[in-house]
Structure 1
């Protein structure tokens, strides 16, 4: 191969690379999706880098039933805050539904989101112990966000028609930016 052609090919690639001074643009959008859902409906949508999202469900039925969930998320690599990020849920998304809905939508970097639901139906009454209550804080580990000053624009939009007419459990995490940590948890225990 001709060395001159190889050099020109490499030089052309270098000029096509993004300028490190420019901000990244991340956008997540859901429009008119998930309307009339029934049952257990979960959706994770992410735009950007190092997004961690989960919808966790546990149901236990029995004489001594006990539903548990454990979620641990950790990010080791810091992210730049030079990000223009936007998240949007538009139209009649997730409207007129029935059941359990979990939605995580994130744009940017190093965002961590958890929707957790536990349902126990048991013949024996159960108390909620400290381990169940403390899990609310265990779900997201500290030190995973950005450490520099935010340098980008952030926008989160939810339509006024989204989620209307829905019944049941609705868990929503929506973020735009860097290093956001969110958790929705619900624990229900019913004695027969």
Structure 2
């Protein structure tokens, strides 16, 4: 039986916090490096558990977490915490940042794909999949249960200084030709900017065959 692809996407672009530029050479370096791209035939036809963390910038945190269990009373708990503090960051640069997926990337792939793609500074992104195959009935995960999940991510507490918002172009995107024919669960976080927190959390519990 052919399954329908399930896509979860969190994207953030152009969320910039005011800060003071410290060194022109450092800002210029970040501007040059802050282009994150997946293109060509990357991961075309891939199958199984696909996890990608791609980052361009400074002080970014990423995680892809997948937990599965099968049994009479199957249960999966994921507890992930990411914190960062006392860092001095340049949140008004770079002037230009982009995170894009182009070409035939992920065409015809199937399974569980979790992707974090970041261009910027002091961003946090996370993908979480929890799946159980239990024989004692279906346990549903409602919005309240997901909200209480012990999965947290934060890039807060950074040392910041500044007096203006840097003008520039920040963009994220997925080309129409990419991901065509993907079958399964696809989680995607795309960030171009500074100080963003994004996350995709999916919980599934299915009754098994006797």
TM-score where L is the length of structure 2 = 0.74
**For this pair of structures, how many residues does the alignment match?**
174
Q: Secondary structure at the match of 1:96?
A: coil
* Unpaired stretches in structure 1, ≥5 consecutive residues: 1-17
1:6-49 CA-partner distances (Å, limit 9, x unpaired): xxxxxxxxxxxx63685531111111211111111111100111
From 97, 102, 116, give the equivalent of 1:104: 116
C-alpha contact 2:141 2:204 (8 A) present in aligned 1: no
Deviation of 1:131 after TM superposition, in Å, equals 5.7
From 122, 132, 149, give the equivalent of 1:135: 149
CA distance in 1 between partners of 2:145 and 2:161 (Å): 30
Partner of 1:75: 84
C-alpha contact 1:144 1:179 (8 A) present in aligned 2: no
Cα pair distance change 1:30/1:188, threshold 3 Å? same
- 1:53-132 to 2 correspondences below 5 Å: 53-76=62-85, 77=87, 79-80=89-90, 81-83=92-94, 84-125=96-137, 126=139, 128=141, 132=146
C-alpha contact 1:82 1:150 (8 A) present in aligned 2: no
From 26, 29, 32, give the equivalent of 2:37: 29
Deviation of 1:89 after TM superposition, in Å, equals 1.0
Partner of 1:15: none
Q: Secondary structure at the match of 1:135?
A: coil
* Unpaired stretches in structure 2, ≥5 consecutive residues: 1-22
CA distance in 2 between partners of 1:21 and 1:61 (Å): 50
Cα pair distance change 1:189/1:31, threshold 3 Å? same
Cα pair distance change 1:191/1:154, threshold 3 Å? same
Which has the larger share of helix?
1
Higher relative contact order (CA 8 A, sep 6+): 2
Say which one has the larger Rg.
1
Cα pair distance change 1:154/1:100, threshold 3 Å? same
CA distance in 1 between partners of 2:107 and 2:67 (Å): 24
C-alpha contact 2:84 2:155 (8 A) present in aligned 1: no
Post-superposition, which runs of at least 4 consecutive aligned residues in structure 1 deviate over 6 A?
Answer: none
TM-score where L is the length of structure 1 = 0.80
CA distance in 2 between partners of 1:73 and 1:112 (Å): 8
C-alpha contact 2:140 2:204 (8 A) present in aligned 1: no
